[in-house]
Structure 1
Amino acid sequence: MIFRQNRADEQTDVEPSAPVLYRCHTFGDLAGKDTSQAEFRSSMLTKKGKYGLKALVHLAQLEPGKTAFVSDIAQQNNISKKFLDAILLELRKGGMLRSKKGPGGGYALSKPASQIYVGQAVRILDGPLAPIRCASKTAFEPCDDCDHPEDCQIRHSMTEVRDAIASVLDNMTLEQMVAKRSSGLLDDGQTSSNSQTSSK
């Protein structure tokens, strides 16, 4: 396998409708086959999903009744405003955000952070949680080279991966994610006391 990252999200002129995916291609794919929107990502979270979660965390920390402008969210989280505009629009259409125009306008959560689940946000922005389409519950499609998906060991293994991911993200609220910021966990995954190490 060859892993290739789509870097379009890092450009300031990215089109809002353009999907931002981390793609996994075989040599056959790279030899001329058009691989684009229909493919599943090979990494768990795209930049689009990551930036969307950062924006949600930002909004979850606002005082009740307050809103935030896209430009402020983008600046404070190092995100392209144009790219963030498209992300927030998707989250609003997905029912997670509300917006207000004019003076005092901006974006805010549509409901309390305790009622917003991370898994739902990821699905809105990145699609199904399954690492491959044949392991998805909501967007199942058999692989072109597999005649018996029900007997495929790879599919069964990736189904376990899907279930493990869903069990975490579908039970984690935005409120819980915000709380992790003050739990002593550093950006590099180590605890502030350096008393624990991880091999993950």
Structure 2
Amino acid sequence: MLTQKTRYALRALLYLIEEGHGDAVQLPRIAETQKIPRKFLELIMLDLKALGIVKSVRGPKGGYRLTRHPRGISFGEVIRGLEGPIALVPCASVNFYKRCGDCHDEATCAIRRLFVLVRDRSIDVLNSVSLEDGARWELRLTDSDADNSHSGDPLAADWQI
């Protein structure tokens, strides 16, 4: 299950795409419109900055913006960066592997085999959906809508990353 922190992070990132159009968005505006406690959002944005997903911009038009086009940032990257392992059991994790204390034989363990499969499929799905896809879902745009009418597509903006 996702933590509230990760849900807020995803909500803030989608808002940067939908409202920022590649420009910086001020933190108070994100917090207010997305109903995220401001102090908590400050910590979340610092974590996203450390992951290289957002950067801060100083000045009167400052705030936060994505470091690259939303097409190049997957839900998987954000979730793994904030949550850690995707695997539901430690013995199925690639980066955070830990042997289970009650396992008799890892090579034949049905529980481990199942959760390696779940991990792999989950990672495939999370990595295949970009923040741009998520923003399109939120805006209820289809690919054909975007292709036919770039002037009305907020995601068609030139991203100045």
Superposed CA RMSD: 1.5
Matches of residues 151-162 of structure 1 in structure 2 within 5 Å? Answer: 151-162=108-119
Local SS of the residue matching 1:170: helix
Residue from 74, 78, 97 that aligns with 1:117: 74
Contact map agreement 2:57 2:63 (CA 8 A) in 1: yes
Residue 15 of structure 1 corresponds to: none
Instruction: Name the CA distance, whole Å, in 1 between partners of 2:37 and 2:67.
Output: 23
Q: Taking CA–CA contacts closer than 8 Å with sequence separation of 6 or more, which of the two structures ends up with the larger relative contact order?
A: 2
Residue 193 of structure 1 corresponds to: none
Instruction: Describe the shift of the 1:46–1:159 C-alpha distance in structure 2 as closer, same or farther (beyond 3 A).
Output: same
Residue 63 of structure 2 corresponds to: 106
> Which deviates further from its counterpart, 175-184 or 53-62?
175-184
Instruction: Name the CA distance, whole Å, in 1 between partners of 2:30 and 2:94.
Output: 34
> Which deviates further from its counterpart, 61-70 or 105-114?
61-70
Instruction: Describe the shift of the 1:51–1:163 C-alpha distance in structure 2 as closer, same or farther (beyond 3 A).
Output: same
Residue 23 of structure 2 corresponds to: 66
Instruction: Name the CA distance, whole Å, in 1 between partners of 2:95 and 2:137.
Output: 30
Matches of residues 145-184 of structure 1 in structure 2 within 5 Å? Answer: 145-183=102-140
Query: After the TM superposition, which segments of 4 or more aligned residues of structure 1 sit over 4 Å from their partners?
Result: none
Local SS of the residue matching 1:108: strand
Residue from 124, 127, 135 that aligns with 2:84: 127
Matches of residues 70-109 of structure 1 in structure 2 within 5 Å? Answer: 70-109=27-66
Identity between Structure 1 and Structure 2 (%): 35
Instruction: Name the CA distance, whole Å, in 1 between partners of 2:40 and 2:119.
Output: 28
Local SS of the residue matching 2:64: strand
Matches of residues 25-40 of structure 1 in structure 2 within 5 Å? Answer: none
Instruction: Name the CA distance, whole Å, in 2 between partners of 1:115 and 1:169.
Output: 13
Residue 35 of structure 1 corresponds to: none
Aligned length: 141
Q: TM-score, normalised by structure 1?
A: 0.66
Q: C-alpha displacement at 1:147, in angstroms?
A: 3.9
Deviation string for 1:28-79 (max 9, x for gaps)?
xxxxxxxxxxxxxxx2x11111111101101111344521121111111111
Q: TM-score, normalised by structure 2?
A: 0.81
* Unmatched tracts of structure 1, length 5 or more: 1-42, 185-200
* Unmatched tracts of structure 2, length 5 or more: 142-161
Higher helix share: 2
Instruction: Name the CA distance, whole Å, in 2 between partners of 1:48 and 1:137.
Output: 23
Residue from 88, 93, 98 that aligns with 1:136: 93
